[in-house]
Amino acid sequence: MSHRVAALQMSSGPDVDRNLDAFERLARRAVSAWGAELVVAPECFAYLGPEEGKIPLAEDLDEGGRILARCTSIARELDAHLLLGGFWERGTSEGKVHNSSVHLDPSGEIRAIYRKIHLFDVELPDGTQISESDTVEPGTEAVVTEAPFGRLGLSICYDLRFSELYRALVEAGAVALSIPAAFTLTTGKEHWHVLLRARAIESQCYVIAAAQTGRHFGNRVSYGHAMIVDPWGTPVSECGEGEGLAVAEVNLDRIAQVRSSLPSLRHRRSFEPPKA
C-alpha cells in the first residue's frame, strides 16, 4: 500500500542544457538510490531566466521539441513516472506561453497536462517584481492524473494560496497533491511551510512539493525547502538549501486512517456567501 515518491530541489538558471543535466542527475538518484516510482521536478525546471527568454523555448506538446524529447528519454530509461513541474508550453496567444505541469508515464507518453491557473503578479517589499501574466497565458481547468498510488491532483506554485482549487482536486478523488514551485525567498520563508501543511491538513492528502532554490539570475532568488507532507500535516521529508531531493512513501493506509479518524471531508457543507 506504499509507493515511494521524490520531490526534486534545483537551482535552475537561463542555461537549458545545464538545467536538464541537473534534472536528469537528480531523477536518476531518486530512482536508482531511493526507488522512487514518481519523480516531481520544480517549476521552471528547464529554464529560469529573464521573462522574454521563455518564449522561443516554449514547445508544442503535440509536436514536442528538444526539452520534451530529453525528458521522454529519461522517463523511458528510468522506467519511472516523471512530473515536469513547470514546462514552458507554447500558448495560443502571440508572445505567450503556458506554465504547464506535464505527467509522463514510464513509456514516455503524456498522461496529463495541467496549465497553471493563478498567475503571480506581485511587487514584493524586497524590490522583487514579477508579472507572470505578461508572458504566461492562464489555464482554466483543474486536473487529476493516475499516479502509481492513485489519483494525483496537479497544481503549480502560486496556486498554493487558493484552497478552493485543492477542494476541487479532492472532490475528483485526489489522494496526493503535487505543488512544484519557485517560491521567492521573501514569501517562502514566511508562508511556504504553513501553506503546504494547511493544504495537506484540509485535503487529508499527501503534498509533494518540489522547489527551486538559491539565486537564478539578477535579483531572482528562491527559498528552496522541497518537502513532502503527510495527510496529518506532518512534514516527512525536507531539503534545506542547495540541490537535493526529498523522498517519502505515499501510504494509502495512512490516508485511510487519517480520513477515518477525523472525517472532515465528509463534514463539508455548501452554503451561500453572506449578503453585503
pLDDT of residue 232: 98
Q: How many angstroms from the chain centroid is the CA of residue 201?
A: 18
- Model's pTM, two decimal places? 0.95
pLDDT of residue 218: 86
Q: Judge whether residue 208 has pLDDT over 80.
A: yes
Catalytic residues: 43, 116, 157
pLDDT tens digits, one per residue of 154-184: 999 999 999 999 999 999 999 999 999 999 9
Domain ranges in the chain? 2-267
Residues 124 and 186: beta-carbon distance below 8 Å? yes
pLDDT tens digits, one per residue of 1-37: 899 999 999 999 999 999 999 999 999 999 999 999 9
Q: Judge whether residue 126 has pLDDT over 70.
A: no
Phi–psi pair at 180, nearest 5 degrees: -70, 140
pLDDT tens digits, one per residue of 78-94: 999 999 999 999 999 88
Q: Judge whether residue 263 has pLDDT over 70.
A: yes
Percent of the chain, pLDDT > 90? 87
Contacts of residue 207, Cβ cutoff 8 Å, sequence gap at least 6: 176, 177, 179, 196, 197, 199, 200, 227, 228, 229
Query: What fold is seen in the domain 2-267?
Result: Nitrilase/N-carbamoyl-D-aminoacid amidohydrolase (3.60.110)
Helix axis angle, 66-78 to 16-32, nearest 10°: 10
Q: Judge whether residue 139 has pLDDT over 90.
A: yes
Taking residues 47-76, report their average pLDDT: 95
Mean pLDDT rounded to a whole number for the chain: 95
Taking residues 58-69, report their average pLDDT: 96
